Amino acid sequence: MYAVQVEQEADGRWIAEVPELPGVLAYAPTREQAIRKAQALSLHVLADRLEHDEPLPQVENVFSIVT
């Protein structure tokens, strides 16, 4: 399971990051949008790993939300 870390920036934007997946970082005006963007980007990264025969986690319960 990958943790989505969420914080609100000083300017009001939200940032969501999945530290275990380098490059998965998303900004959005709302917390929920930032989480969704980070999850979508994570799925792209995981799909890329799958295409290149790199190790993958079990696909069930891939995300947890961390505040």
Query: What string of pLDDT tens digits covers the 67 residues of the chain?
Result: 789 999 999 999 999 999 989 889 999 999 999 999 999 999 999 999 889 988 776 655 667 788 7
pLDDT at 61: 63
Distance (Å, whole) CA 56 – CA 49: 7
43: DSSP letter: H
pLDDT at 67: 77
Q: What single-letter amino acid sits at 8? A: Q
